[in-house]
Amino acid sequence: MASTTVHAGEASSSSSIQRRPPRSWKYHVFLSFRGQDTRTGFTSHLYAALRRKGITTYKDDYDLRKGDVISDELLKAIEDSMFGVIVLSPNYASSSWCLDELCKILDCNKNLGQHIVLIFYDVEPAHVRHQKGTFREAFKKHEEREDSEKIKRWKAALTQVAGYSGWNPKDYKNDATLAESISQSIHEIMIPKLLPSSKKKLVGIDSRVEQVINHIGSGLDDVRFIGICGLGGIGKTTLARIVYESLQSEFKVACFFADVRERCEKNGILQAQKDLLVHINGSSSEIDNKYDGRRIIQASLCHKKVLLVLDDVNKEEQLKNLAEEQDWFGPGSRIIITTRDMRLLRIQDAREIYNVEGLGENEAFDLFCLKAFKQRKPEKEYLDLSKQVVKYCAGLPLALEVLGSHFYGRSIEEWHSALEKLKSFPHVDIFEALKISYDGLDSMEKDIFLDIAYFFK
């Protein structure tokens, strides 16, 4: 049954997962499929559905393979993936690459705790298990040029994987519906495993996440723009990311669109629209101008419940061309905007605005110590120096993290020397982050800012 598909691979390795320390993953999903069978059909639907859920997917899109030996790049991609998704189709076994991928996925399931998701696409499990039909024909050809040990290993892998519960297209109206169900199932398993690792070193995040989620209005059918505002380095992006990961399973389409300011400055608003559409649809759209881009974004999303995060917005034009009106989005949609400029949120009629404040004294001290000492308390001789640095940072998470890492492993003498330098010259990473806000001012505002700064000096 489809409802137990993902759990089949999970059950086979659940005990080893519990004993094994958590690891980081480069990809959420590795897709193993036979291109000539499903590349332009079911697999393209599945890839798009995974992308809409924000699931990072490795999909070998090129037919430029040379030789019969699987590449090191593919083997590494499989190892770096949380899920191995195998689309068993009639010609799957005709590809030695596919069979090698299958063996590697089973090996990662056993040794790394990788989850296996299996789709029997136009094939019967019995044909896979006993290598009948097209699978038998494929092995007749393999036996002419491959050694017996490799043939034995491939057959054993097919027999093993055929015993897993798998998704069957016959249970669904069409390929798109099947793909959506699979992506949702993967997402529901994936998110709880990601959240603890993303939050474990974040100080003071839980209460802030709860406050933002209270503004979201989950379960209501209105469309809401929600703002997260604050200084550079205050933690807006981190907060938005945790909120996004906590809620994305509730939405038909979820997209965290990072670095809007940088994208638009480097490549222009038209390219930003194209990038957004790739996130939404899993493929690029032919757009010649930003007006067409606005129309296509609206057409893609207006009937869907969407969670969209526009991160680091600094100009009204960006909102106008990426998410201008509520009617661009389907009922229940939520658009979260992170920005340093409160004015943009008011122009956008953001229903709720959460102003991110600096960390409290105890939270700031904890964060600094975690970075500087890898523990929440410093050694006695470093206590007063640590308090001086924490006071200097004024609750700014970026400053606490940068300086904590800067002071890590240094002697008392080096601490004293570095503190003296900080009084005259701020750390370059902190300076550059804060300078972005200054650069965003117009000439008159810059003059006023400098007048006030020199007055207090």
Residues belonging to the active site? 101
Q: Going by DSSP bridges, is the β-strand pair 334-339/81-88 parallel, antiparallel, or unpaired?
A: unpaired
**What residues pair up with 254 in beta bridges, in sequence order?**
307
CA neighbor of 310 nearest in space, from 352, 340, 338: 338
As a whole number of angstroms, the distance between CA 225 and CA 69 comes to: 51
Residue 28 sits at φ, ψ, to 5 deg, of: -80, -40
The identity of residue 419, as a single letter, is: L
Edge-to-edge order in the sheet of strand 57-59 = 57-59, 27-32, 81-88, 115-120
Q: How far apart are CA 358 and CA 324, in angstroms?
A: 30
Distance CA 292, CA 455 (A): 49
Question: Residue type for 246, please?
Answer: S
Place of tokens 């070998």: 60
Closest CA to 251 of 351, 322, 329: 329
Are 243 and 251 in contact by the 8 Å Cβ rule? The answer is no
Would you call 253 helix, strand, or coil by DSSP? strand
**Rg of the Cα trace of the chain?**
26
Contact 332, 303 (CB under 8 A): no
Distance from C-alpha of 94 to C-alpha of 90, rounded to nearest angstrom: 9
83 forms beta bridges with: 29, 115
CA angle 242, 208, 337 (to 5 degrees): 60
